Amino acid sequence: MSAEESERSRLPFEPKKKRQKPTKTQSKPAAQPQESSKQADRKRPYTKEEMAIPQVVSQRMIRRVAGFCGVPTALGISALVVSYLLASYFNIQLPPIAVLLVNMGLFGLGVLGITYGVLSASWDEERVGSLLGLGEFNTNWGRMVAVWRETRQKNS
């Protein structure tokens, strides 16, 4: 393992080898033979298969997003319908600000559910993970923060 990989654990579906960026040279008028050797030195980009999230992990993420996003969103829509039905058929007037705040809260939970659904899924193909995914969320959040810090250090 390189020093970079020892700082953080590699993702289960992350490519094994990191590609090196081609070294930049000083700008000189290049002759034709040197140009072809530069192209030979360049490594090909990652293939779609190397960059893709495995199908099992992707399906796991989709199921979690559907649950953690779909339930609050469905509750938000049903709260609108219930408030309408109460006002129409039972002549119960709810304060509009209360209906607004409840809906904003539920739709906001739906938006947060998208992120939590992806991060709470186990990114390891062989391991399903727990029902709520709290352990997986902590692991995946740590990986994400480590990559952000690593990227910030490289760019500074």
Q: Which of 23-37, 73-87, 117-131, 137-151 has the lowest mean pLDDT?
A: 23-37
Tell me which residue range forms the domain holding 78.
55-155
**Does residue 49 lie in a domain region?**
no
CB 84 within 8 A of CB 107: no
Res. 36: pLDDT tops 80? no
How high is the mean pLDDT of the chain?
84
* Backbone φ, ψ for residue 47 (5° rounding): -80, 165
Q: Give the residue-averaged pLDDT of 137-153.
A: 94
Per-residue pLDDT band for 48 (boundaries 50, 70, 90) equals: confident
Q: Which pTM does this prediction carry?
A: 0.69
Q: Which amino acid, 26?
A: Q
Q: How many domains does the chain have?
A: 1
CB 19 within 8 A of CB 44: no
Per-residue pLDDT band for 40 (boundaries 50, 70, 90) equals: very low
**Does residue 137 lie in a domain region?**
yes
**Does residue 108 lie in a domain region?**
yes
**Does residue 29 lie in a domain region?**
no
**Does residue 62 lie in a domain region?**
yes
Q: Give the residue-averaged pLDDT of 127-144.
A: 94
